[in-house]
Amino acid sequence: MKIIVAADPFALNLKKPIVAHLGEKGHEVLDLGATGEKAIPYYESCVTACRALQAGKGERAILLCGTGMGMAGIANRFQGITAAVVESVFAARMCRAINNANVLCLGSMLWGDWMAKEAVEAFLTTSLTDGLPQFADFLKEAYQKVEAIAPEVNEKAM
The residues assigned a catalytic role are 65
27, 2 in Cβ contact below 8 A? Answer: yes
Instruction: Tell me the one-letter amino acid at 81.
Output: I
138 φ, ψ to 5°? -60, -45
Strands annotated E in the chain: 2-7, 28-31, 60-65, 83-85, 103-107
- DSSP string of 83-123? EEE-SSHHHHHHHHHTT--SEEEEETTT--HHHHHHHHHHH
C-alpha 155/C-alpha 158 separation (Å) is 5
Angle among Cα 8, 45, 2 to the nearest 5 degrees reads: 100
